[in-house]
Amino acid sequence: MPIGHHWSAEIREKMKQRMLAPYSPSISSLSRETGIPLSTLFRWKSSAGSLGGAKESPVSRRPTDWSAAERFRVLLEAASLRDEELGAYLRREGLHEAQLIQWRADALRGLERLPVPPAVDARSAKKVRKLEKELRRKDKALAEAAALLMLQKKVRDLLEAEDDDTDKTNER
């Protein structure tokens, strides 16, 4: 629907009744079903609440006054609820679904800002560098030993070849 669409009084009343019914659908599902924006439905529900539909929680307070622990508790509890149960739960808590959505987004943004722990601590990294250095040193020593063995074999082969030549000349 275009922005600024004016809904008829009949549609407004029908939506208010559906939102305030005992087993009402969630406002987001109602928005998806009808195409009416969430903000419009929340505004209608809020105005209907003053007519006795929505009950205030015993300690009425703004969602911004909730502690992080309370918000986390609500997010955990709400995550396991179906749409019908979620609507009733949010009414008991005195919250709107939009607030729950906002808290969930805030929590995810907060998790993304947490530093990723390094794969290894500094002590382990130092030990790895030391072992790599020792490995390079041993690789060089092994390469030198292999080169010496190859030289030794070549010298032996040359000496044997010389002996063969000497034996052949003595035989004549």
pLDDT, tens digit, 9 for 90 and up, residues 7-49 = 888 888 888 888 877 777 888 888 888 998 888 888 888 777 6
Cβ–Cβ < 8 Å for 97, 86: yes
Which SS3 state, helix, strand or coil, does residue 121 take? coil
pLDDT, tens digit, 9 for 90 and up, residues 121-130 = 788 888 889 9
Q: Is the pTM of this model over 0.75?
A: no
Which SS3 state, helix, strand or coil, does residue 96 take? coil
In angstroms, the CA 11 to CA 76 distance is 34
Both structure tokens of 83: 């749409």
